[in-house]
Structure 1
């Protein structure tokens, strides 16, 4: 063991899956050098209250101070620590006192005798303990520096990095489509990247939009997402195929029409603002500064005062990254208004022809997209 080695390993981040995966890799690496299984111990650091924090720290202290039966090096993993987060348990005075005790244990550790690994997610990076770990530990922050797990752009680097480890990249519009279909779930996104990479033929290294459209399930927005995405791509045959799959799997017309209307509402608002010159489109989608200005109470935002829920009736309740992806192919105002009228006609038609819902939507699609085919 090098004399300059840090007294412990600290792995943290906003996403528990990434932190646990990195922690498991480091644990296995060290465990391979410690053949005695009784010299390896994993302690659960999940705590829902102060009493559980105290119990975890005390057990950790006892384990670190335990001497190996044969004098060999020991390995202790304090796993899935949750009391370092910005939550009620993490902010409690008694918890902060236990964190100080934890710091004393770590500072006094001899890594030549005991290898200590700690994994924590999420974590409050404003706390002094976090900053102390940065300086004194073998430190790893997983998932980048962003802690906002509600924004797609926070997940894009994670997915891209995973693809790079597999020797593949994403083609045009492929990554946004993957995020839209799977949603903001790291575990599912990474598993999907592995699936798509394995699907590629020998010599292929690019995951294309077509691969995702064909192979990736519509987890984030339900079974009608595929048809909505296809419709607004302007691809007639792809839309007809998606509608057929929707009904073949037992789908109903009403949620599909609702999804189409919702997307159309957002595009109508974007088109109106762009046409008026109020909203700018940049190289990477919607210009965020102009969007935020329009959302202010001094501008269009005043019309939505008091509205806090996310809805497609309010453009400003949506994420700019998501809107930029929608607006990458922005129909004309005439086409959008025609769409709304066709959706209404289709809804009235399925009431009269309830047993022919698929045919009604196929006819609607041909009227909307057939003119441009």
Structure 2
């Protein structure tokens, strides 16, 4: 018959909450009425709060609905099964008592769902809850792995196929933010009519780079050489953003161009293939040790492509292939001159400076 307790934990609160929401929705299908369902918020700021939450969750699960039927309780966002929030002996005692009580619940009478983040697996309460429950852990060595697991599960539910490369590019594009990743996946699934495969091209075309906002379009257009399209995008950007500055666009152009210079240099040296597609998987990683002496800093910077996500770098290969190294260096100098013009001309010059910059390109 299964177990009455479901225990979900993760590195990221959103991931734990998202998976628990799916389970709660599935369990709620068998609820006799809304009174059979109850959500107890599990975020505590101190030991007294933690004890009240544990007692409230136990009481909710033990109290049958007015119309009978199975009781479904979700203890949501439990945040004190860890060292920082769970040091108090009273807190630990309350958690252990809750686990002992939950172990006695009968699956045909109660479904007791717990979502928790963060957790300390050394705690006795954690071990007790894991032992008595249908346990799922979305903890991983890094955010990318956790996000990948979340995307795979959601893609299956949406009826679409998300290739591994496409998933990795999506994750890198949204900076491994699970909430953003799922939102973009929903958009991509809609784009393919919730059937078939979401390709890497779909991801690159439809998903904006997280944190770069609506000026990413301008960064991308710089290398396309379409003056009419670029002029329209520049006008649209400054028209819809009355207080917009050209500085974020220039900063991102410089950052991307710095990576393009390094990629093109490696291509000219025969270390990377000149291609109109993305770089072959693993090609960049294989060069990291060879050039470790040149890049002595491990800090993540655009001036060291080996510290960047390889998929984010790989997607720039087609631009690097068709742009000579001299042109890329000229670009960098033009960006500096554009910054100087902004300073010299002062306010209300941003749109005109950008028009002149793109005309040079």
Return the alpha-carbon distance in structure 2 between the equivalents of residues 338 and 217 of structure 1: 27
Work out whether 1:323 is the aligned partner of 2:307. no
Work out whether 1:347 is the aligned partner of 2:344. no
Partner of 2:183: 191
Deviations 1:35-88 (A, max 9, x none): 254444322111222222222112223334445667654332211111234x51
Work out whether 1:236 is the aligned partner of 2:232. no
Work out whether 1:253 is the aligned partner of 2:250. no
Return the alpha-carbon distance in structure 2 between the equivalents of residues 265 and 187 of structure 1: 30
Indicate the SS of the match to 1:23: helix
Deviations 1:14-55 (A, max 9, x none): 333343233233323333433254444322111222222222
Return the alpha-carbon distance in structure 2 between the equivalents of residues 37 and 347 of structure 1: 60
- The equivalent position to 2:38 in structure 1, one of 38, 41, 44, is 41
Work out whether 1:223 is the aligned partner of 2:191. no
Return the alpha-carbon distance in structure 2 between the equivalents of residues 63 and 52 of structure 1: 16
Indicate the SS of the match to 1:224: helix
Partner of 1:99: 95
Unaligned stretches of 5+ residues in structure 1: 369-373
Indicate the SS of the match to 1:30: helix
- Retained in 2: the 8 A contact 1:159–1:193? yes
Return the alpha-carbon distance in structure 2 between the equivalents of residues 10 and 114 of structure 1: 14
- The equivalent position to 2:142 in structure 1, one of 132, 148, 152, is 148
Tell me the TM-score normalized by structure 1: 0.73
- Retained in 1: the 8 A contact 2:208–2:216? no
Work out whether 1:51 is the aligned partner of 2:55. no
- Retained in 1: the 8 A contact 2:14–2:179? yes
Q: What's the CA shift for 1:321?
A: 4.5
Return the alpha-carbon distance in structure 2 between the equivalents of residues 359 and 42 of structure 1: 55
Partner of 2:329: 337
Return the alpha-carbon distance in structure 2 between the equivalents of residues 345 and 132 of structure 1: 64
Return the alpha-carbon distance in structure 1 between the equivalents of residues 51 and 14 of structure 2: 25
Shift in alpha-carbon separation, 1:134–1:218, aligned structure 2, 3 A? same
Q: Within 5 A, what are the aligned runs for 1:1-373?
A: 2=1, 5-66=2-63, 72-85=69-82, 88-125=84-121, 129-130=125-126, 133-142=129-138, 145-146=139-140, 148-149=142-143, 151=144, 154-159=146-151, 161-169=153-161, 178-179=170-171, 182-200=174-192, 206=198, 209=201, 213=205, 219-232=210-223, 234=224, 236=226, 239-250=230-241, 251-272=244-265, 283-284=280-281, 287-288=284-285, 290-291=287-288, 294-295=291-292, 299-302=293-296, 304=297, 310-313=300-303, 315=305, 318-327=308-317, 329-330=319-320, 331-350=323-342, 357-368=350-361
Tell me the TM-score normalized by structure 2: 0.75
Unaligned stretches of 5+ residues in structure 2: none
Indicate the SS of the match to 2:136: strand
Shift in alpha-carbon separation, 1:317–1:341, aligned structure 2, 3 A? same
Q: What's the CA shift for 1:179?
A: 4.6
Deviations 1:131-165 (A, max 9, x none): 554553222335xx53533x4x6534533553443
Return the alpha-carbon distance in structure 1 between the equivalents of residues 157 and 29 of structure 2: 23
Indicate the SS of the match to 2:32: coil
